[in-house]
Amino acid sequence: MQQLLWIETLLKFSAGALLAVFPMMTLRLLGLPRPPSGFWPRVCGVLLLGIAGALFLEGTSKGHGLGLAGVVIINLCGVALLACVLVLDGGPDSLRGRLAVWLVVCLLVILSVLEIAML
Q: For the packed helices 2-21 and 95-118, what is the interaxial angle rounded to 10 degrees? A: 150
Domain hosting residue 81, numbered range: 2-118
Cα–Cα distances in angstroms (integers) from residue 57 to residues 47, 50, 84, in the given order: 15, 11, 32
Of the candidate ranges 53-62, 77-86, 104-113, the one whose mean pLDDT is the lowest? 53-62
Contact 78, 84 (CB under 8 A): no
pLDDT interval class at 48 (50, 70, 90): very high
Contact (CB, 8 A) for 98 and 104: no
Question: For the residues 2-17, what does the mean pLDDT come to?
Answer: 92
- State the pTM of this model: 0.74
Is residue 58 pLDDT above 90, yes or no? no
Number of domains forming the structure of the chain: 1
